[in-house]
């Protein structure tokens, strides 16, 4: 009789733990879906050009999509130095629509490993995102 009661208690405990784990998973999934507002999702956040010769200008277009539920508005896109110039869309990006940020890096006066960071300020759930151009500037011939 004691063994039978023990079996029932263990079985009941296993069922309770499984139900609790399933409830936690369902709550986590529901929380993901609750994210409202604009969300900026980049195809890539870095572009590595490898070695470039000093004085070379390189350019890359970072593509993104508003994967959120509301209109995305970029308020500013700023580089860490004057050698890097971003161009970005000024018009709002509707949910499901895409946009591009074109970034140009001028290696004049630069040497060695470079990581040009561009910060994207917006009304997205993450209000500041970053993209980067990476290169190793070598001396001209």
pLDDT digits (tens, 9 = 90+) for 9-21: 445 544 544 645 5
Among candidate residues 102, 97, 43, 42, the one with its CA nearest the CA of residue 72: 97
Q: From CA 135, how far away is CA 123, in angstroms rounded?
A: 30
Return mean pLDDT, the chain: 86
pLDDT of residue 45: 98
Q: What is the pTM of this model?
A: 0.75
pLDDT: is 111 or 12 the higher one?
Answer: 111
Q: Are 74 and 122 in contact (CB under 8 A)?
A: yes
Q: From CA 133, how far away is CA 67, in angstroms rounded?
A: 24
Q: From CA 46, how far away is CA 49, in angstroms rounded?
A: 10
pLDDT of residue 80: 87
């Amino acid at each position: 009789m004691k063994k039978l009661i023990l079996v029932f208690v263990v079985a009941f405990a296993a069922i309770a733990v499984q139900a609790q784990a399933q409830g936690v998973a369902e709550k986590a999934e529901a929380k993901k879906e609750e994210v409202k507002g604009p969300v900026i999702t980049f195809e890539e956040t870095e572009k590595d050009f490898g070695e470039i010769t000093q004085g070379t200008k390189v350019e890359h277009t970072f593509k993104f999509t508003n994967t959120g539920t509301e209109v995305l508005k970029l308020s500013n896109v700023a580089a860490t130095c004057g050698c890097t110039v971003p161009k970005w869309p000024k018009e709002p990006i509707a949910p499901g629509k895409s946009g591009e940020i074109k970034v140009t890096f001028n290696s004049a006066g630069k040497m060695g490993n470079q990581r040009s960071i561009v910060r994207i300020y917006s009304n997205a759930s993450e209000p500041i995102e970053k993209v980067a151009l990476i290169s190793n500037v070598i001396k001209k011939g």
